[in-house]
């Protein structure tokens, strides 16, 4: 969703003061593990309230204080709370988001010192549990600067833990890039996007250090090259020089990089070729590549354009090299939006997609793809699905209860990829023929006797297309076809004679950006099918795409905790049923009169003692009337109580048996 403006609270959200007061009144700590307080604070006073709330969450693993306008003074107050939480939980807080605040280098140092646990002096067993990684997000804090980056690097290096530093748009220049090389050994993720002040020497020093980083998995360097001034040249490295530096880092055999983002750096086809060839030659296990907003379209007819096609079709190194590493089959996500890709380039890219064993997400928005390019991509989707279906036959045999081969080694050599399930083509001038081809490729009707994917697209983006009603109607029919398939599968596996073969991941709905959202009843069908699928196929079933993890389902949000607290408080306020009540008389406080039980069980009996106006019918007869009327039946002297009337109990001389 959209990020709220600084200092604003989410729509419909309670104020920080009311929530903190409610939490303080609870007699137990909160069980929240993920706490999102984005946009709650407006200054130091609210920061103190937020600190109070944080201390009530001893099991916290993820905390977001983004877009709160926090300054150093407020951060100093919160840092002590974070330190106490880390020390008491043994470094349990793993993610801290301070994006979009107003921190200076001093605030960065205070946050890093309290957030990153000191594992250098701990015993080995305890240090292993506290080593991390710990993710600190200080993006969109332009006051961080070079001094703040240096402080973060020193703290991470000194503490000895693994960390992720997200510093997008944090005002770093050349010295800031170079200072981060100190902490390269402990970095798991590094995001320096939108910091365009690096020079060639400092960038070379940083990339050389990152090339030796044994734990680095994600590197984001989008929009880091200075834009050329009008009529001049950029002050930093050229795109080709930047690509050569990056390629030198990626060629290392010990590289374990999984995510690389180099969008918006004006890279040409030749520059991209250097990077992609280094990826294939080195040891990195790249899964996500972001090349948005570069200049690849102008060079797709050249020889260097084959590099990306080969990377898309690249099968990687197969199964995991180590027991604790997942199997690796190649690139899973590729972003090429805003690159001037036309029909010719799309057709060339489709050639690589036909036999891709790993690619699942392809982003081609804001290009110049028309009907012919869309048709080539649609044909490639069908070919990839057929290729994966044939390639996964050994896996089906090993998991099927009837034809189980027991050859687990053979099953591990097979990719479990569902093929491309996300295709984003928004803001392309695609016409009716192109949308019809995509709709046909999205339709899937496999054999129901042994249902097994791949099932085809689940997310398709075509907003801003150039088609008419014919193309959009074809997409709607494809959506209806997917719903009918899911209904048939649900009836089959929940019927009296369910199929004994099949498995894998269940199909999902086809969601099309640019068309109305799917109906709630269809979302219910999707959830029901996923549940029955897992129950029926057991070990042969894979989780549905986008399904929440079991740990996420067990987690409680702050809203759920507050609702539970309100329910607990309301339950305590409900009056319990009583048989009698002792009332001290006003005239003789030493005498206690026992009011008789309520014979007619009127709801106003006990409440009319002090709050008659809260009930619908305060004139209803009850045991209290009988008690007043017992000694003096004359209504003129002892009538029943009227609403709001105050009558004292009988005097001591009027009590039965005397005073």
From CA 620, how far away is CA 641, in angstroms rounded?
10
User: Could you tell me which of 113, 189, 111, 115 has the C-alpha nearest to residue 143?
Assistant: 111
pLDDT-derived band at 640, boundaries 50, 70, 90: very low
Length of the chain: 659
Q: Which pLDDT belongs to residue 304? A: 62
Distances (CA, A) of 134 to 68, 114, 117, 402, 447: 21, 12, 9, 46, 47
Q: Cα(first)–Cα(last) distance of the chain, in Å?
A: 75
Alpha helices in 180-268 (DSSP H): 200-211, 239-250
From CA 418, how far away is CA 360, in angstroms rounded?
7
User: Could you tell me which of 289, 288, 286 has the C-alpha nearest to residue 267?
Assistant: 289
pLDDT of 354 over the 50 cut: yes
pLDDT-derived band at 394, boundaries 50, 70, 90: confident
pLDDT of 622 over the 90 cut: no
Mind listing the pLDDT tens digit for each residue in 545-585? Answer: 766 665 555 567 777 777 777 777 677 665 455 555 555 55
pLDDT of 15 over the 70 cut: no
Q: 3: Cβ–Cβ under 8 A, 6 or more apart, which residues?
A: 38, 66, 67, 100
Mind listing the pLDDT tens digit for each residue in 402-429? Answer: 445 445 555 566 788 999 999 999 999 9
Q: Which pLDDT belongs to residue 231? A: 47
Q: Which pLDDT belongs to residue 544? A: 76
Mind listing the pLDDT tens digit for each residue in 118-152? Answer: 887 777 777 788 888 999 999 999 999 999 999 99
Q: Which pLDDT belongs to residue 648? A: 45
Query: pTM for this one?
Result: 0.82
Query: Which runs of E-coded beta strand occur in 42-186?
Result: 62-64, 95-97, 134-137, 163-166
Query: Which runs of E-coded beta strand occur in 279-353?
Result: 288-290, 333-335
Q: Which pLDDT belongs to residue 13? A: 45
pLDDT of 395 over the 70 cut: yes
From CA 269, how far away is CA 252, in angstroms rounded?
22
pLDDT of 466 over the 60 cut: yes
For the residues 218-240, what does the mean pLDDT come to? 79
Q: 76: Cβ–Cβ under 8 A, 6 or more apart, which residues?
A: 107, 110
From CA 253, how far away is CA 273, in angstroms rounded?
19
- By mean pLDDT, which of 156-165, 339-348, 639-648 is the weakest? 639-648
pLDDT of 283 over the 90 cut: no
Q: What is the residue-averaged pLDDT of the chain?
A: 81
Domains of the chain: 33-228+235-266 (3.80.10.10), 288-541 (3.80.10.10), 580-659 (no CATH)
Q: What angle do CA 399, 403, 406 make, to 5 degrees?
A: 55
Q: Say if CB 160 and CB 183 are below 8 A apart.
A: no
Residue that is written with structure tokens 């894979």 in the block: 542
Q: Which pLDDT belongs to residue 179? A: 96
Element counts in the chain: helices (H) and strands (E): 21, 16
Q: What count of other Cβ atoms lies within 10 Å of the Cβ of residue 404? A: 11
Q: Which pLDDT belongs to residue 328? A: 86
Give the tokens for residue 526. 């999707």
Give the tokens for residue 551. 């740990």
pLDDT of 30 over the 90 cut: no
């Amino acid at each position: 969703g959209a990020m709220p403006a600084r200092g604003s609270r989410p729509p419909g959200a309670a104020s920080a003061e009311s929530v903190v007061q409610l939490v303080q009144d609870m007699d137990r700590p909160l069980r929240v593990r993920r706490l999102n307080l984005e946009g709650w604070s407006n200054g130091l006073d609210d920061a103190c309230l937020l600190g109070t709330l944080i201390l009530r969450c001893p099991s916290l693993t993820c905390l977001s204080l983004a877009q709160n306008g926090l300054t150093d003074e407020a951060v100093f107050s919160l840092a002590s709370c974070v330190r106490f939480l880390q020390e008491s939980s043994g470094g349990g807080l793993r993610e801290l988001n301070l994006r979009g605040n107003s921190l200076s280098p001093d605030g960065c140092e205070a946050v890093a010192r309290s957030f990153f646990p000191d594992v250098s002096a701990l015993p080995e067993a305890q240090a292993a549990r506290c080593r991390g990684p710990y993710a600190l997000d200080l993006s969109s804090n332009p006051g961080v600067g070079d001094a703040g980056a240096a402080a973060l690097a020193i703290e991470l290096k000194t503490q000895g833990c693994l960390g992720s530093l997200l510093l997008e748009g944090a005002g770093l220049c050349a010295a800031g890039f170079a200072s981060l090389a100190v902490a390269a050994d402990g970095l798991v993720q590094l995001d320096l996007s939108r910091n365009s002040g690096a020079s060639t020497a400092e960038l070379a020093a940083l990339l050389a250090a990152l090339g030796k980083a044994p734990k680095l998995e994600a590197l984001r360097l989008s929009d880091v090259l200075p834009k050329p001034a009008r009529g001049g040249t950029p002050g930093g490295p050229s795109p080709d020089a930047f690509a050569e530096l990056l390629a030198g880092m990626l060629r290392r055999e010990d590289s374990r990089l999984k995510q690389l983002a180099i969008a918006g750096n004006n890279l040409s086809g030749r520059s991209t070729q250097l990077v992609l060839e280094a990826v294939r030659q080195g040891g990195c296990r790249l899964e996500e590549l972001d090349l948005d907003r570069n200049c690849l379209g102008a060079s797709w007819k050249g020889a260097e354009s084959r590099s990306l096609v080969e990377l898309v079709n690249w099968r990687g190194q197969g199964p995991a090299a180590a027991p604790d590493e997942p199997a690796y089959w190649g690139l899973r996500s590729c972003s090429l939006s805003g690159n001037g890709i036309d029909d010719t380039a799309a057709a060339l890219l489709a050639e690589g997609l036909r036999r891709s064993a790993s690619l699942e997400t392809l982003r081609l928005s804001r290009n110049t793809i028309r009907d012919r390019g869309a048709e080539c991509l649609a044909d490639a989707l069908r070919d990839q699905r057929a290729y994966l279906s044939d390639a996964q036959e050994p896996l089906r045999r090993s998991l099927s209860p009837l034809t189980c081969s027991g050859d687990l080694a053979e099953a591990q050599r097979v990719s479990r990829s569902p093929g491309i399930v996300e295709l984003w083509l928004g803001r392309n001038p695609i016409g009716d023929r192109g949308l019809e081809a995509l709709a046909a490729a999205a339709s899937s009707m496999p054999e129901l006797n042994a249902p097994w994917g791949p099932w085809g697209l689940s997310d398709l983006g075509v907003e801003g297309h150039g088609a008419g009603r014919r193309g959009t109607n074809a997409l709607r029919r494809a959506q209806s076809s997917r719903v009918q398939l899911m209904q048939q599968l649900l009836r089959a596996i929940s019927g009296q004679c369910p199929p004994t073969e099949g498995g894998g991941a269940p199909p999902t709905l086809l969601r099309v950006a640019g068309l109305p959202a799917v109906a709630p009843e269809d979302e219910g069908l999707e959830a029901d099918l996923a549940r029955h699928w897992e129950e029926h196929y057991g070990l042969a079933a894979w989780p549905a795409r986008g399904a929440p993890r079991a740990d996420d389902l067990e987690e409680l949000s702050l809203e759920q905790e507050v609702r539970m607290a309100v329910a607990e408080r309301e339950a305590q306020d409900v009056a319990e049923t009583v048989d009698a009540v002792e009332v001290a008389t006003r005239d003789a406080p030493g005498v206690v009169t026992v009011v008789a039980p309520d014979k007619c069980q009127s709801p106003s009996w006990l409440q009319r003692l002090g709050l008659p106006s809260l009930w619908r019918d305060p004139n209803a007869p009850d045991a209290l009337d009988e008690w007043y009327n017992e000694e003096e039946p004359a209504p003129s002297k002892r009538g029943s109580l009227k609403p709001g009337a105050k009558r004292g109990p009988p005097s001591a001389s009027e009590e039965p048996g005397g005073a």
